[in-house]
Amino acid sequence: MSGEKRIPTGIAGLDRVIEGGVRDNTTLLVVGSSGTGKSTFAMQYLNYGLEHGENGLYISMEEPPEQIMREAKMLGFNLDKYYNKELFFFHSKGKDFVKLVDEQLPALVEANKNYSVKTRVIIDPLTPLIWAIQDKQEQREIITKLFYTLKQLGPVLITTEEHAAPGETIGEDVLIPIYMSDGAVHLTYRPIGGAFNRALEIVKMRATRHGEEVYPYIFVRGVGVVVRTTPLVSAEDLRKYDDVFDKAIRTAADIGASERMLERLVYVKENWSYPFSPKETLQIFFESQGLNDAVTREELAKRREIEASSPETNLDIAEITGGTLQVEDEVVMPDFQDDAVVSDPEGEEGLIEIDSLSELEELVQ
């Protein structure tokens, strides 16, 4: 799990599957077709920050401030009391937005440098800007500058309307904003139980261990959006596979893994969040690192004995076996569920048995 401090979004349920919230000075893009509740997400995100001592900047490219606050009040969010105190609005349209990005917002960032209070920023929606600039290169440049400027104020949430063609998972018109953002969630209508219901998927979330399921959500007056999720890892399951990882780390150390690889295994152990055993993943990782030979404790002891008595001899288990050890043509991988590195060699087919040191030396030669 990341040790970086997280900022709660205030969207009920969402923070449970994004490590507790968003990172500071990042952008979160909310993508969805009309009626999926993008503006509700934005108002709820903004309201949470205001209620917890933050400032708010709402950049609207469609509705005037009065209408936004009126709609927020219908959902149970009273933004009026913060208006022109902790909450400020920019209302701009189309090409006028370029001037806002080039001049007004940088001036605001500069003026805000002397204040310690974080500003939670909303852009709702980005769609008119996307439509106003047809050239993709120009569009990318203005969006890059916009995101870079606003992230200096605090965490940013941007909504954008999607117009996907039949067969498209995500509309082509929102690909550039998704690519430029630090995180993106996709809101959709899905047929569930014979009816169309809203659901959320996390498309990306940089430097964040996030849920990968489809999460239904509902609207509750007085609360806002409620995303129906379960914690990514429950408290009781958080350390469920520690024994598997510990045995894998011991195995790696026994077969000569580097310190860097051992550090990586420890890091994987600390961040494992899946509900299934990591055994197969660890085996694949071992193979990718060239550690896919099965080594018995007896062989390791002989190997160390030879290395101690003949420092000039560089003994490699692959040289002894001529490659990967095999049992009936199947690769022998370390079993991380067992206490030993590999079970006792007696009775195992395919392993080379060496009775004396001289026999081993002859084989190496």
Rounded Cα distance, 200 and 244, in Å: 33
Q: How far does the chain reach from its first CA to its final CA, in angstroms? A: 49
The pLDDT value given to residue 291: 74
The pLDDT value given to residue 163: 76
Beta carbons of 315 and 307 less than 8 angstroms apart: yes
Q: Which residues contact 255 (CB under 8 A, 6 or more apart)?
A: 291, 293, 295, 300, 317, 334, 341
If we measure between CA atoms, which residue out of 139, 39, 38, 30 comes closest to residue 79?
Answer: 39
pLDDT along the chain (365 residues), means of 10: 81 93 96 92 96 95 92 93 94 75 90 87 91 89 94 95 70 90 91 70 93 89 88 68 91 85 90 83 85 56 64 41 36 50 43 52 53
If we measure between CA atoms, which residue out of 67, 69, 124, 121 comes closest to residue 92?
Answer: 124
At residue 279, the 3 state secondary structure works out as helix
Cα 343 vs. chain centroid, distance in angstroms?
38
The pLDDT value given to residue 172: 83
The pLDDT value given to residue 304: 61
The pLDDT value given to residue 338: 45
The pLDDT value given to residue 342: 40
- Return the number of other C-beta atoms located less than 10 Å from residue 42's C-beta: 23
Residue 52 has phi, psi (to 5 degrees) of -115, 30
How is 229-273 classified by DSSP, letter by letter? ---SS-GGGTTTTHHHHHHHHHHHHHTT--HHHHHHHHHHHHH--
Residue 247 has phi, psi (to 5 degrees) of -70, -35
